[in-house]
């Protein structure tokens, strides 16, 4: 019997547990604290951005009044700051350098939602191991990832940065990424400190509008939003980032219940908490704190150890006065220092503060890293439709292939958001990948067709000055559209590469609509109307309104933002060198009017009408959670439930070696609260040779059956009957049951 992948397994294996604070570290921290002035103690609690003007930062570093810097990525600059911190200050305390290492550093992996779609925690672990190795090589110590926010509203742009809608899948990806970043234990060579973010509830922003308030009941918070965070703590995550928004009217960054009662008292978290950028100062903006000094006091009281800010931190400006006035105690400041300094010791920064500048470049983007990025992109693709077996493309069947769309040959869009250190010369677009693929080379011609852009620019566009091409005028627009349509007409097959540009999906990239931006839908309709075969390759970080395509475009392949080697991976998938095996990590709605929609809803009155709740449109999703096709076919049979052990047979009934993700769902039939119709409680991605049959097995543990009871304000494990399903997605029909 094969073992299923459970978040708990990842936590349990190896020496993942957070290293207990040994006497040496505690002793060293105490010794240091005894020597520190109050100013130095306050200084450790600040983290500043380096956006290119080093002067004000240098002044703080030289005085020993700064704990950390973020956004420095040049090893020479890192060493320069570090030499100042270590050699010019009284106590030689090193800085800890942080960066948004989200899905790769130089070698960019598929975006996090894509990694979740691979249903392959081991793959995510490997990707973040490589990301850590590259970032550490330039002197970075600390990654602001993984983002563990459950996202059930795809209007929210940051869905792309997380693992989607499900707490169980989210917990498995969380634990894997923490382990990838940190290695066996905090301080492992070539690894980083990880940050679980954004604590907590950020994904439930009202209307999907980034930064807007979240209202989440405690039961929903405990049962849905918090499990990935708890899994990360169990996996030993070293730091936490507090979220921006109000959670039930209390800003997360001023929320003592979250950062103290839950995080430290219940979960026994031993690392340190950093605020999100400027989130302490914005406690004033929320109408929560009276002024920045009040914000400082309330954030520290709530449990924010380090403040991240642009310019000066509120802590550095206000803590001394707050201490003098008795609004905070020295012990509070020292406790925050303890959390931070212990981590600097554990990371080995006192022994090894500097980075080897000469060696740094050698580690970046090695062929091995690029291969891993390609494999990850292949494993994360989800085949949504394949009528008539159009894919994989038959060798020699098409002599002229049109490659059309605004994302087909755009390197920055292939990478997705949060890619700052990429090398575009290494970045392969879909068009570039097809040009060199054995099946398509010499046959492909490209036309962009349409241009897509945001109405309101992203602040990332401004900060990082991404090159935005000049907008086309209306004549140019018509010409390009017609050129693409003519190219499709003159070809035997069109590969449309559509979706959202990278700056349309990410932070500050929320939308009121799920439509394909710009004239892409029109272009798709024009090309489809030609009556020739069409393949739609989608690049996006959220579900889009695909109702036309789902009905009329024969093949749809979701490739997300696939990263540095994305184009090669997509070409391999289209040509059959790689077989899609990814599954959706969220429920795909038909239109934005269905939001929120997720598979683990409760059943209430008239469940037989569940698909007809709206009178004008189905209320079922377009594609269910966990869904994804293959070039092969799989069947599930022989479900056996013996106590809490559930087994089933998975057979590849087709002729192609391929992967299937066996998924286990359960449902508690009655009890102290209505429970969701289904909840994922196990999964395993298994590779099958043609006609191979394998048995998958899952053990349902107590933790899988427990839920947070709003009535009892506690976790409960009730006596009840439980339905069980095993299958290829959340609509699996192979069923059994057990009682508890």
Cα dist from 50 to 58, 77, 144, 647, 655, whole Å: 10, 10, 15, 54, 55
Q: Tell me, what DSSP letter sits at residue 190?
A: T
CB of 77 to ligand BGC, least distance (A): 17
Handedness of CA 421, 424, 428, 430 (dihedral sign): positive
Q: Cα 186–187–190 angle (5° rounding)? A: 115
Q: Which is nearer to ligand BGC, 272 or 627 (CB)?
A: 272
Cα dist from 105 to 108, 355, 571, whole Å: 6, 16, 24
CB of 142 to ligand BGC, least distance (A): 11
The answer to whether 437 and 571 have CB atoms below 8 angstroms apart is yes
Q: Which is nearer to ligand BGC, 304 or 496 (CB)?
A: 304
The answer to whether 502 and 415 have CB atoms below 8 angstroms apart is yes
Task: Please tell me the distance from the alpha carbon of residue 116 to that of residue 124, in angstroms, as a whole number.
Answer: 8
Q: Residue 514: CB partners within 8 Å, gap ≥ 6?
A: 154, 155, 542, 543, 544, 545, 589, 591, 592
Q: Which is nearer to ligand BGC, 223 or 458 (CB)?
A: 458
Q: Which is nearer to ligand BGC, 43 or 146 (CB)?
A: 146
Residue in 276, 305, 337, 413 annotated catalytic? 276
Note if 276 is an active site residue: yes
Cα dist from 445 to 408, 411, 492, whole Å: 11, 17, 12
Q: Which is nearer to ligand BGC, 166 or 276 (CB)?
A: 276
CB of 197 to ligand BGC, least distance (A): 6
Closest residue to ligand BGC, judged by C-beta, is 144
Q: Which is nearer to ligand BGC, 561 or 725 (CB)?
A: 561
Handedness of CA 694, 1, 128, 273 (dihedral sign): positive
Radius of gyration of the chain from its Cα atoms, rounded to whole angstroms: 26
Task: Please tell me the distance from the alpha carbon of residue 177 to that of residue 195, in angstroms, as a whole number.
Answer: 10
**Measured torsion, CA atoms of residues 56, 59, 65, 67, in degrees rounded to the nearest 10:** 60
Q: Which is nearer to ligand BGC, 507 or 684 (CB)?
A: 507
3-state helix, strand, coil in the chain (%, to 5): 35, 20, 45
3-state secondary structure 399-445: CCEEEECCCCCCHHHHHCCCCCCCCHHHCCCHHHHHHHCCCCCCCEE
CB of 283 to ligand BGC, least distance (A): 15
The answer to whether 724 and 736 have CB atoms below 8 angstroms apart is yes
Q: Which is nearer to ligand BGC, 507 or 521 (CB)?
A: 507
Task: Please tell me the distance from the alpha carbon of residue 449 to that of residue 188, in angstroms, as a whole number.
Answer: 49
User: Tokens representing 183?
Assistant: 């290695």
Question: Which residues of this chain interact with ligand BGC, rule CB under 6 A?
Answer: 100, 144, 197, 276-277, 507
Catalytic residues, by residue number, are: 276
């Amino acid at each position: 019997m094969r073992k299923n992948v459970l978040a708990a397994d990842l936590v349990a294996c190896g020496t993942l547990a957070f290293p207990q604070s040994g006497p040496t570290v505690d002793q060293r921290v105490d010794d240091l604290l005894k020597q520190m002035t109050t100013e130095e103690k306050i200084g450790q609690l600040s983290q500043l951005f380096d956006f290119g003007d080093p002067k004000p930062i240098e002044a703080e570093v030289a005085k020993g009044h700064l704990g950390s810097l973020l956004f420095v990525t040049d090893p020479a600059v890192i060493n320069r700051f570090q030499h100042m911190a270590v050699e010019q200050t009284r106590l030689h305390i090193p800085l800890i350098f942080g960066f948004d290492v989200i899905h790769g550093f130089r070698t960019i992996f598929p975006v996090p939602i894509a990694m979740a779609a691979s249903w392959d925690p081991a793959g995510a672990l490997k990707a973040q191991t490589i990301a850590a190795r590259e970032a550490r090589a330039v002197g970075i110590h600390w990654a602001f990832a993984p983002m563990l926010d459950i996202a059930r509203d795809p209007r929210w742009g940051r869905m792309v940065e997380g693992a989607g809608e499900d707490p169980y899948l989210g917990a498995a990806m969380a634990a894997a990424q923490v382990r990838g970043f940190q290695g066996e234990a905090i301080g492992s060579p070539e690894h980083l400190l990880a940050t679980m973010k954004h604590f907590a509830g950020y994904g439930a922003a009202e209307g999907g509008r980034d930064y807007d308030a979240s209202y989440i009941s405690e039961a929903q918070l405990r049962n849905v939003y918090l499990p990935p965070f708890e899994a990360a703590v169990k996996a030993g995550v070293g730091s936490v980032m507090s979220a921006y928004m109000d959670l039930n009217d209390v800003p997360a960054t001023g929320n003592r219940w979250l950062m103290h009662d839950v995080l430290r008292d219940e979960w026994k978290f031993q690392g340190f908490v950093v605020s999100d950028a400027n989130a302490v100062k914005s406690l004033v903006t929320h109408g929560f704190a009276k002024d920045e000094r009040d914000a400082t006091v309330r954030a520290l009281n709530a449990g924010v150890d380090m403040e991240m800010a642009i310019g000066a931190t509120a802590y550095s400006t206000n803590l001394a006065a707050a201490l003098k006035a008795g609004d905070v105690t020295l012990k509070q400041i020292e406790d925050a220092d303890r959390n931070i300094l212990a981590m600097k010791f554990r990371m080995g920064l006192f022994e090894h503060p500097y980075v080897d500048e000469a060696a740094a470049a050698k580690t970046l983007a090695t062929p091995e890293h690029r291969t891993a990025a390609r494999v990850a992109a292949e494993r994360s693709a989800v085949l949504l439709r394949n009528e008539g077996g159009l894919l994989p493309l038959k060798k020699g069947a098409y002599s002229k292939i049109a490659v059309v769309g605004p994302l087909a040959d755009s390197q920055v869009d292939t990478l997705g958001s949060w890619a700052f250190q990429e090398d575009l010369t290494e970045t392969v677009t879909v068009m570039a990948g097809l040009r060199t693929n054995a099946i398509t080379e010499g046959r492909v011609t490209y036309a962009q067709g349409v241009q897509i852009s945001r109405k309101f620019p992203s602040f990332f566009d401004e900060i990082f000055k991404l090159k935005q091409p000049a907008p086309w005028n209306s004549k140019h627009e018509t010409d390009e559209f017609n050129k693409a349509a003519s190219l499709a007409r003159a070809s035997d097959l069109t590969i449309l590469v559509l979706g959202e540009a990278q700056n349309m999906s990410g932070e500050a990239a929320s939308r009121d609509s799920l439509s394909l931006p710009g004239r892409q839908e029109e272009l798709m309709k024009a090309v489809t109307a030609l009556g020739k075969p069409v393949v739609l390759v989608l690049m996006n970080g959220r579900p889009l309104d695909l109702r036309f395509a789902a009905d009329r475009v024969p093949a749809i392949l979701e490739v997300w933002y696939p990263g540095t080697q994305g184009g090669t991976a997509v070409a391999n998938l289209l040509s059959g060198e790689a077989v899609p095996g990814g599954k959706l990590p969220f429920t795909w709605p038909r239109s934005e009017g269905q939001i929120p929609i997720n598979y683990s809803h409760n059943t209430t009155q008239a469940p037989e009408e569940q698909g007809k709740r709206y009178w004008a449109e189905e209320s079922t999703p377009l594609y269910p959670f966990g869904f994804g096709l293959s070039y092969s076919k799989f069947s599930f049979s022989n479900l056996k439930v013996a106590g809490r052990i559930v087994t089933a047979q998975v057979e590849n009934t087709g002729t192609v070696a391929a992967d299937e993700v066996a998924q286990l769902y359960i449902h508690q039939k009655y009890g102290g609260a209505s429970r969701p119709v289904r909840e994922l409680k196990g999964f395993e991605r298994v590779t099958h040779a043609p006609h191979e049959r394998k048995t998958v097995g899952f053990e349902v543990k107590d933790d899988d059956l427990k839920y947070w009871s709003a009535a009892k304000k506690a976790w409960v494990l009730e006596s009840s009957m439980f339905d069980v399903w095993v299958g290829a997605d959340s609509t699996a029909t192979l069923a059994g049951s057990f009682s508890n």
